[in-house]
A = this chain, B = another copy of it.
């Protein structure tokens, strides 16, 4: 028996930490992972595409199974729930079935993830009101779709990333889909001018979109199954409801142990991903340093989870040649596809920038994904937000046809390096007619904003 590394949660952060530690340890390492669900190292982001039928089986979403991890020497225990962390005695209480058990640790990694927010509303506990954050929850949606009950009408509550992706998936399954959304347009992490394009894309998929309608309750029938969603004073009939109003860090076990959490409820770590002596955390249960707003934020994304897991794995085994490995934070990059529309954002919206104390200017341009004269050219819109006076880029949003959205990475890199829009407009981006206009759309927008800084 070597030094015991105990990991709570077998998805991206936890398994990355375990794998990396095992690869780097120069001493005997006893690596144990407890996972409440039935899967390890899976792509939660792929769930909507699995439900849509683009991806055939849940297995396809699994990068590495428990069996494969075990073959590499990680003791993965599925269906085991961690219930308590005892920091003083360096042990974690776990539950498999009904028998509690204590597992000792030398190092502990908390990768408990996030869970879909279930609003405290009348009827929310009706059957058929489902969140979608892990494979087991995804399977539950599929069970409903493929079950004996006739399911024709679905209501998606909330039009964030999961909401619009699930709306598309349910349209693909042939359901009548209604999206009800509190905000003025779908995806309030983007400007409402961008949101209007997303609403149109949802409509083209056949989904009805009701904006400015906050859900206030759920109706159900005598059998306890949901029959409708009450929102904005109207009732939208539903045989299935998907909750897409966001996720919250599943950090209760850390809070109860007295570990620090931030305003979002996420665990607060340093940039080594350390929470306390010998305690590490990563993934959707932690807060992330936002490099533009300079605030800790809950940014639950697989990209951060994977990086944080690796950082933990390096540090837990003593660091590398550069000393401690560091997770440098994020700039708020996100991307999705809504039918034929690509959508991406990074940095701060105008509202977020104002809230973070910046005075801003912004400009939107409409251009084309590739040279306008080429077959396959499609419209795209770029919105850039910059700081008044300095011209520093603060945020970017892109919606458009194929090839539009991944361009957000250029803006993410510019944000990362605190570049100005004038600098961005002069960088050396790739151009050929099948890929871009000669001024890349991002640079067209940067040039325009630079003129009004």
Q: Which residues of B contact A410 (CB under 8 A)?
A: 409-410, 413
A174 part of interface (Cβ distance < 8 Å): no
Whole-angstrom distance from the CB of A195 to the nearest CB of chain B?
A: 18
Chain copies in the assembled complex: 2
Q: List chain B residues, Cβ under 8 A from A433.
A: 43, 45-46, 49
Flag whether A196 is at the interface (Cβ < 8 A): no
Q: In the assembly, what is the distance between CA of A335 and CA of B429, in Å?
A: 9
Asked if A354 is at the interface (CB within 8 A of a chain B CB), the reply is no
A43: which of B306, B327, B438 is its contact (CB, 8 Å)? B438
* Per-position 1/0 for A394-414, Cβ under 8 A of B: 000000000101111110111
B371, A432: Cβ atoms closer than 8 Å: no
Residue interface mask A367-399, B partner, CB < 8 A = 1: 000010111000000000000000000000000
A26 CB-CB contact with B under 8 Å:
no
A301 proximal to B (CB < 8 A):
yes
Report chain B residues within 8 Å CB of A134. Answer: none
Query: Which residues of B have CB within 8 Å of A371?
Result: 43, 45-46
Interface stretch of the complex, out of A54-62, A78-86, A112-120: A54-62
Does A412 contact B435, Cβ atoms closer than 8 Å?
Answer: no
Number of interface residues of A (CB under 8 A): 65
Among the 9-residue stretches A137-145, A220-228, A242-250, A420-428, the one with 4 or more Cβ atoms under 8 Å from chain B is A420-428
Chain B nearest Cβ from A242, distance in angstroms: 18
User: Is A346 in contact with chain B by the CB < 8 A criterion?
Assistant: yes
| Complex Cα–Cα for A409 and B346 (A) | 16
Task: For A417, give its contact among B322, B412, B417, B430 (CB under 8 Å).
Answer: B417
Bound Cα distance from A45 to B371, whole angstroms = 10
A417 to chain B: which residues have CB within 8 Å? 413, 417, 419
Q: Which of B331, B337, B373 is in CB contact (< 8 Å) with A61?
A: B373
Q: Give Cα A61 to B374, complex, Å.
A: 9
Collect the chain B residues with CB atoms within 8 Å of residue A334's CB.
430, 432
| Residues of B contacting A428 in the complex (Cβ-Cβ under 8 angstroms) | 303-304, 329-333, 346, 412, 416
Question: Would B426 and A327 count as touching, CB distance under 8 A?
Answer: yes
As a 0/1 sequence over residues 46 to 74 of chain A, the CB contacts with chain B under 8 angstroms (1 = contact) are 10010000110000110000000000000
Residues of B within 8 A of A46 (CB): 371, 373-374, 433
Instruction: Judge whether A45 and B432 touch: CB under 8 Å.
Output: yes
Please tell me if A328 contacts chain B, counting CB pairs below 8 Å: yes
Q: Is A183 an interface residue (CB 8 A)?
A: no
Q: A337-B432, A405-B435 are in contact. List 6 more A-B contacts (CB 8 A).
A: A43-B438, A332-B428, A409-B440, A413-B414, A413-B417, A416-B427
A-B contact pairs, 5 of them (CB 8 A): A12-B438, A54-B375, A301-B431, A337-B432, A413-B414
User: Which 7 residue pairs spanning A and B have beta carbons closest together?
Assistant: A413-B413, A335-B430, A60-B373, A330-B428, A417-B417, A333-B428, A337-B434
